[in-house]
A and B are shown apart, each in its own frame.
Chain A
């Protein structure tokens, strides 16, 4: 179980994430939603340790993650929002490097990498430099790198970004399967439809604060709204979308 207690992050005194508390349980898929700039990626980066929280505590299985930082990192798989990879390496070399950093034994690592590359349709391009990869291919490399060491906690920041329909369907099913095997899955996405299909519960963030934290079913009945999109619009969208659309059309047409 991953637990965030009153986590806050301030950049030069300006709060990006304020007093965020929620729990992501093993066997469940927790969707983390919010408009751009609401603090989703900042939260995920704080969990990974890439950013230090200004306040609050992050616990995994009841223990503060900083207490045994190396052990926590061994259990963590992370797909960042931006696919920043060492582009001079080939896909195969990058995964080998990640496996070595993770301390995985050579022979099983080679077999695992080969399997991932085949199943993610990257095998023909395994000797090609990542600089030549498309965004979807980079995303697949990130996914493989995050799953190489069979982590207990998966943090996925916009994991469907750039993936083709086929790969997105595979990933969606994979996330569900991993959750049923007892992994803690926390993923942020803008694709509300996907979140609604995949997640057991959602946490909605608006201006750095949690505005909803419940199962989708519960939110639907509480707010008497039929879809997650309606719930999200009510809680986190400030603009009148139809009015904005009308204004843009008017602008286009001069």
Chain B
């Protein structure tokens, strides 16, 4: 979400930081302000509720999952937080229920898998290894995207062409360029 958008000119003019440095700073902020407090609070609760072994095993899974989700949310985020314009139409509220159902299903499935894994060391190692590998992969992808030559910091959201918003881009024979490349070209 933007904060006093018209004041963001100072970031465009005064900041010497590369896209990579900005993504790294966003990552630090996300880890420090979102991931770490939740993980610490959850850890305190779990060590109080459960045995030391179960609590620490669950926390390790939680950390790997949290890092993976944080890295996915940073993927392609070539912005300085709160300095870029925001087009509300991009948020699809009509899909919220579908996402909620999917989330609940995956949480239920994940909890069942974890329950089994906590009793079976091999399965636990496999699940943890997979989550760590996925988190590392997401982290590598986010860093590689930010370090690529095409990565430019964005301060203005480029509106989707009307043909995309109306889902008409497959009609007729005219092929339109991908939205992501159009955004990249017009970014300052």
Residue positions of A touching B, CB distance < 8 A: 48-50, 52, 70, 73-74, 76, 78, 80, 82, 84-88, 97-98, 101-103, 145
Q: Cβ of B16 and Cβ of A84 under 8 Å apart?
A: no
Cα–Cα distance between A70 and B16 once the two chains are bound (Å) = 6
Binds A, one of B3-11, B114-122, B124-132: B3-11
Chain A residues, Cβ within 8 Å of B17: 101
CB distance from B96 to the nearest CB of A (A): 31
Q: Residue on B with the closest CB to A148?
A: B14
10 tightest CB-CB pairs across the interface, nearest first? A101-B14, A84-B6, A84-B7, A101-B15, A86-B7, A70-B16, A102-B14, A98-B14, A86-B4, A85-B7
Chain A residues, Cβ within 8 Å of B16: 70, 73-74, 101-103
Chain A residues, Cβ within 8 Å of B3: 86
CB distance from A2 to the nearest CB of B (A): 15
Judge if B28 is at the interface, Cβ distance under 8 Å: no
Q: Cβ of B10 and Cβ of A145 under 8 Å apart?
A: yes
Contact partner of A50 (CB less than 8 A), chosen from B4, B7, B9, is B9
Judged by DSSP, the binding face of B is helix
Query: Contacts A70-B16, A102-B16, A103-B16 hold; do A84 and B9 have CB atoms under 8 A apart?
Result: yes
Q: Cβ of A101 and Cβ of B6 under 8 Å apart?
A: no
Query: Contacts A73-B16, A74-B16, A86-B4 hold; do A98 and B188 have CB atoms under 8 A apart?
Result: no
Chain B residues, Cβ within 8 Å of A88: 4
Q: Residue on B with the closest CB to A87?
A: B4
Query: Contacts A73-B16, A86-B4 hold; do A101 and B9 have CB atoms under 8 A apart?
Result: no
Cα–Cα distance between A52 and B15 once the two chains are bound (Å) = 18
Chain A residues, Cβ within 8 Å of B12: 48-50
Chain B residues, Cβ within 8 Å of A97: 10
Judge if B13 is at the interface, Cβ distance under 8 Å: yes
Q: Cβ of A80 and Cβ of B9 under 8 Å apart?
A: yes
Q: Cβ of B6 and Cβ of A49 under 8 Å apart?
A: no
Query: Contacts A50-B188, A52-B188, A86-B4 hold; do A73 and B9 have CB atoms under 8 A apart?
Result: no
Looking at chain B, what size class is its interface with the partner chain? 10 to 19
Chain A residues, Cβ within 8 Å of B14: 73, 98, 101-102, 145
Chain B residues, Cβ within 8 Å of A101: 10-11, 14-17
Cα–Cα distance between A101 and B11 once the two chains are bound (Å) = 7
Which B73-113 residues have C-beta < 8 A from chain A? none
Cα–Cα distance between A74 and B17 once the two chains are bound (Å) = 11
Cα–Cα distance between A52 and B185 once the two chains are bound (Å) = 12
Chain A residues, Cβ within 8 Å of B4: 84, 86-88
Cα–Cα distance between A80 and B7 once the two chains are bound (Å) = 11
CB distance from B180 to the nearest CB of A (A): 19
Mask, B152-168, CB within 8 Å of A = 1, is 00000000000000000
Scoring B7, B9, B10, B14 by chain A CB atoms within 10 A of each residue's CB, the highest score goes to B14
Q: Residue on B with the closest CB to A77?
A: B13
Chain B residues, Cβ within 8 Å of A74: 16
Q: Residue on B with the closest CB to A142?
A: B10
CB distance from A79 to the nearest CB of B (A): 11
Q: Cβ of A49 and Cβ of B188 under 8 Å apart?
A: yes
Contact partner of B13 (CB less than 8 A), chosen from A52, A76, A87, is A76
* A-B pairs with beta carbons under 8 Å apart, 14 shown: A49-B12, A49-B13, A49-B188, A50-B13, A52-B188, A73-B13, A76-B13, A78-B13, A84-B9, A85-B7, A87-B7, A101-B11, A101-B16, A102-B14
Chain B residues, Cβ within 8 Å of A145: 10, 14
Cα–Cα distance between A49 and B9 once the two chains are bound (Å) = 10
Q: Residue on B with the closest CB to A85?
A: B7
CB distance from B21 to the nearest CB of A (A): 11
Q: Residue on B with the closest CB to A98?
A: B14
Chain B residues, Cβ within 8 Å of A78: 13
Chain A residues, Cβ within 8 Å of B6: 82, 84
Which B1-43 residues have C-beta < 8 A from chain A? 3-4, 6-7, 9-17
